[in-house]
Chains A and B, each alone.
Chain A
Amino acid sequence: DSGVTQTPKHLITATGQRVTLRCSPRSGDLSVYWYQQSLDQGLQFLIQYYNGEERAKGNILERFSAQQFPDLHSELNLSSLELGDSALYFCASSPQGATNEKLFFGSGTQLSVL
C-alpha cells in the first residue's frame, strides 16, 4: 500500500455529465500529481499541485480542472464528458517534489463514459 488513496475506484457515467475524482496523498506529502492512462496514449501527465497551488500543467483539457485543498487532498473535476475521456485516472504524491524523489501512486479511478 503506497498510502495514496483514490475514490471512487470505478465510475460509470454518460456523455455530457460531470464527475469529481478524489485523491488523498500520503501523510505529509505536499505534491499531488494527476495522470490519465489510456491504451493508446499511455500515462499522460495532467496537472501538479504543491501545497495548495498549481505548479505545472500538462495535457489537461479545458473541460478538466483540479484543486488542492488546505488538508492537501486533491480533486480532479471532469465536465462535459466525452466517450474519449474513458480512462484510468491516477493520482500520485511526493513529499516535496525535490530532485530524484519518487512518486507514490494511488490505485486509480476507472472512468467509463457511455
Chain B
Amino acid sequence: AQRVTQPEKLLSVFKGAPVELKCNYSYSGSPELFWYVQYSRQRLQLLLRHISRESIKGFTADLNKGETSFHLKKPFAQEEDSAMYYCALKGGPGGGADGLTFGKGTHLIIQP
C-alpha cells in the first residue's frame, strides 16, 4: 500500500545549523513527491516538488528511489523556517485518484 512516513514529529535546531527533515515512502509505481509547509496561522502551501528539482527558500529535496526517500534539506536554518512540514505522495488510496497522501508531519523549530 502507498504510504508516507515522517519519522520525526518534532525537530529542533539552532539558527544557522543544517536541517534535514526525513521522508520515506512506499509506492509500487513511479512516485511523484512533494513537500508542503504550514507556517503558523497560515494555510498549507506547496514548498517544492521533486519533478521540478528546484530550490525554494534554500530548501532542496532529492528523490532517492533506492532508499525510497525524499528528505528535505537546508544548509543553514533561519528562524522563519519554523513551521510544520508535510511530505506528500501523489495518488494512492490515501490520496484519491489525483490527490495526495500526506505524512503525519514534522514540526520544525528553529532556535535563535
A contacts, CB < 8 Å to B: 2, 4, 31, 33, 35, 41-45, 47-48, 50, 55-59, 90, 92, 94, 96-103, 105-108
Interface centre among A35, A90, A94, A108 (most CB of B within 10 A): A35
Say yes or no: is B60 at the interface (Cβ < 8 Å to chain A).
no
**Residue contact B44 to A48, C-beta cutoff 8 Å:** no
Contact-residue bracket for chain B: 20 to 34
Within 8 Å CB of A100, what residues of B? 32, 49, 51, 90
Point out the residue from A4, A55, A105 that lies within 8 Å of B97, measured CB to CB. A55
**Residue contact B99 to A42, C-beta cutoff 8 Å:** no
Question: How many Å from the CB of B38 to the closest CB on chain A?
Answer: 9
Within 8 Å CB of B34, what residues of A? 102
Complex-state Cα separation, A43 to B46, whole angstroms: 14
Complex-state Cα separation, A73 to B30, whole angstroms: 32
Question: How many Å from the CB of B56 to the closest CB on chain A?
Answer: 12
Question: How many Å from the CB of B92 to the closest CB on chain A?
Answer: 9
Question: How many Å from the CB of A89 to the closest CB on chain B?
Answer: 12
Q: Which residue of B lies closest to A57 (CB)?
A: B96
B contact face: mostly helix, strand, loop, or mixed: loop
**Residue contact A108 to B96, C-beta cutoff 8 Å:** no
**Given A42-B104, A102-B34, A102-B49, A58–B97 Cβ distance below 8 Å?**
no
**Residue contact B98 to A97, C-beta cutoff 8 Å:** yes
Question: How many Å from the CB of A46 to the closest CB on chain B?
Answer: 9
Interface centre among A41, A43, A44, A99 (most CB of B within 10 A): A43
Point out the residue from A41, A45, A50, A98 that lies within 8 Å of B104, measured CB to CB. A41
Within 8 Å CB of A4, what residues of B? 43
Q: A45-B99, A108-B43 are in contact. List 12 more A-B contacts (CB 8 A).
A: A42-B105, A45-B96, A56-B96, A56-B99, A57-B96, A90-B44, A96-B98, A97-B98, A101-B98, A105-B43, A105-B44, A106-B43
**Residue contact B46 to A97, C-beta cutoff 8 Å:** no
Within 8 Å CB of A56, what residues of B? 95-99
